Amino acid sequence: MASARSLTGSGTVSDPAGTDDTTHLHTVPAPAGREAAEPQPGDALSAGARVRLVLVLGSLIALGPLTIDTYLPALPAITDDLLTTASAVQLTLTGTLLGLGVGQLLIGPWSDAVGRRRPLIAGVVLHIAASLLCLVAPNVAVLGAFRVLQGFGVAAAMVVAMAVVRDLFAGTDAARLISRLMLVMGAAPILAPTLGSEILRLTTWRGVFAALAVLGVVLLGVAVFALPETLPPERRHNSGVAGSLRAYAGMFRDRTFVGLIVVSGLTMATLFAYVSGSSFVLQDVYGLDEQTFGYVFGAGAAGLIAGTQLNARLLRTWTPEQVLTVSVAAASVSAVALVAVAATGAGGLPGLLVPLWLVLAFCGVSLPNTGALALTLHGEAAGTAAALLGALQFAVGALAAPVVGVLGTASALPMAAVMGGAALVAAAVMLLVVRPRQAAEAGPLEEVAVAA
């Protein structure tokens, strides 16, 4: 296998010829439990090395949004070509999300046992193969099955990227880095529907999956040549299936961790209700063509990105707990306004888009903080914690997507209702389970604060 470059303690990059997969980032032991004030391995990285890390991890995480969003403009065409229903086609999106969720639960502990690179490379190869199989799917059931395999492949890229963040950083630094990652990966949902629309101008919906296979080949090169190993052998935990189950059980006993990942999952459900319903609402209800839909969808993604970058600035003044509490509350208020507009039709399309984009923006503020705080609690098993975080995110998202289809696509109200319900429950969990005031009194989780 080709060698991976390794980051040295000075923050520079070296690539000695002939190195193998055992080359890794020189690290100090990760803190256990809630300790986040000790020096972290990423503290030594130069500004340039951090930028390169963001670009590499962002490109890998972007595989998920690209796999999910590029085919959104093709959903009506798939419905017609495969002689099926809108709800059945939406289940192919659900299949991808389920593959993402289950795949992360398996790949997270595996990456804690063998390191980050091997699971990543295997997952990207699986994604390429599944994309080619989707290209030749004869019916919607087969397409859905292959989309599950695609989700498994994407899971490796997403869980490994998040685990690498925790291998290197904790607390506020981790939240800042995740915000920067979302800037990079946020370009994916902006570009993906537009890219899908352009592909549809040249070919059929099957061409979308050919493009995803090509993307997988490119990212395979990134995984092989650009990402160093960040989990050295002395920090790996090969405890088998029983040990993995014990680790998951221990995390479920951590009230704050569970609350944070549930809030994160419900925030993702809000986003995926939008992803699942927007193509039908905007094209069928409001009459947008495929290209205009791509632009409008991209504008919403821009709001999400703006939220993530606002978060990085807010963290200069407030703690992640404080920012998260306010952003979750603001998202729920905006979601209520969205439901009201969808129910009354007030303001037409512009009246719908304003509260919709506000919800997306506040979700962008929330997501980096839920992830960073949850992973900081369990840095000793970052892959397993990242897997549980990601699995719950996409499992809840998988449940939200078909609910929109079941409730109907004849108006914007079903999509708005699912988004509003998820946002309101997230606010309730934040208040009743995470209990931010008590968490703050127990000791902030963001004590490491090295400027990103």
* C-beta atoms surrounding 129 within 10 Å: 15
Tokens of 450: 């090295």
Task: Provide the pLDDT for residue 452.
Answer: 35
Q: How many domains does one find in the chain?
A: 1
pLDDT at residue 374 above 90? Answer: no
Give the least confident one: 170-184, 199-213, 274-288, 308-322: 170-184
In a domain? residue 422: yes
Lowest mean pLDDT among 189-198, 209-218, 357-366: 189-198
- Range of weakest confidence among 145-154, 293-302, 318-327: 293-302
With a cut of 80, say whether residue 183 has pLDDT above it: no
Residue 59 lies in a domain: yes
Q: Is the Cβ–Cβ distance between 162 and 389 less than 8 Å?
A: yes
- The reply to whether 344 falls in a domain is yes
Q: Specify the pLDDT at position 190.
A: 65
154 within 8 A of 67, measured Cβ to Cβ? yes
pLDDT tens by residue, 299-322: 888 888 889 889 888 988 988 889
Residues 6 or more apart in contact with residue 444 via CB below 8 angstroms: 171, 319, 321
Handedness of CA 167, 258, 302, 383 (dihedral sign): positive
In a domain, 197, yes or no: yes
Strands (E), 114-236: none
The answer on pLDDT for 96 being more than 70 is: yes
Q: Which domain holds residue 170?
A: 53-228+236-442
Residue 9: pLDDT above 60?
A: no
Is the pLDDT at 186 greater than 80? The verdict is no
Mean pLDDT, rounded, for 100-127: 90
- The answer on pLDDT for 361 being more than 80 is yes
Q: What is the pLDDT, as a whole number, of residue 342?
A: 93
Chain-centroid distance, C-alpha 104 = 11
Q: Is residue 3 part of a domain?
A: no
- CATH number for the domain including 365? 1.20.1250.20
| pTM assigned to the model | 0.69
C-alpha closest to that of 227 among 89, 329, 118, 313: 118
* 39 occurs within a structural domain: no
**How would DSSP label each residue in 230-261?**
-S-GGG----HHHHHHHHHHHHHT-HHHHHHH
Q: pLDDT exceeding 90 applies to what percent of the chain?
A: 30
For position 65, what pLDDT does the model report?
82
- The CB density around residue 350, as the number of other CB atoms within 10 Å, is 8
Find which of 271-275, 375-379, 447-451 is predicted with most confidence, using mean pLDDT: 271-275
Of 61-65, 185-189, 345-349, give the lowest mean pLDDT range.
185-189
Helix axis angle, 206-225 to 47-61, nearest 10°:
150
Can you give the pLDDT at residue 46? 81
206 or 182, greater pLDDT: 206
Residue found by looking up tokens 């200069």 in the block:
316
Question: What is the pLDDT, as a whole number, of residue 196?
Answer: 87
pLDDT at 228 (0 to 100): 85
Confidence check: pLDDT of 438 > 80: no
Is residue 23 one of the residues assigned to a domain? no
Q: What would the mean pLDDT of 45-70 be, rounded to a whole number?
A: 85
Q: How confident is the model at residue 284 (pLDDT cuts 50, 70, 90)?
A: confident
Confidence category of residue 27, pLDDT binned at 50, 70, 90: very low
Pick the more confident residue, 185 or 395. 395
Give the DSSP per-residue string, 36-99. --S--GGGG--HHHHHHHHHHHHHHHTHHHHHHHTTGGGHHHHHHHTT--HHHHHHHHHHHHHH
pLDDT at 366 (0 to 100): 92
Q: What is the pLDDT of residue 441?
A: 46
- pLDDT above 60 (res 82): yes
Model pLDDT, residue 444: 44
Q: State how beta strands 6-7 and 13-14 pair.
A: antiparallel
- Residue 9 in any domain: the answer is no
Q: Which residue has the higher pLDDT, 163 or 335?
A: 335
Q: What is the mean pLDDT of the chain?
A: 81
Q: What is the pLDDT of residues 388-415, one digit of tens each?
A: 888 887 778 768 878 887 888 788 999 9
**Strand extents, DSSP E, 95-134:** none
| Amino acid at the residue 86 | A
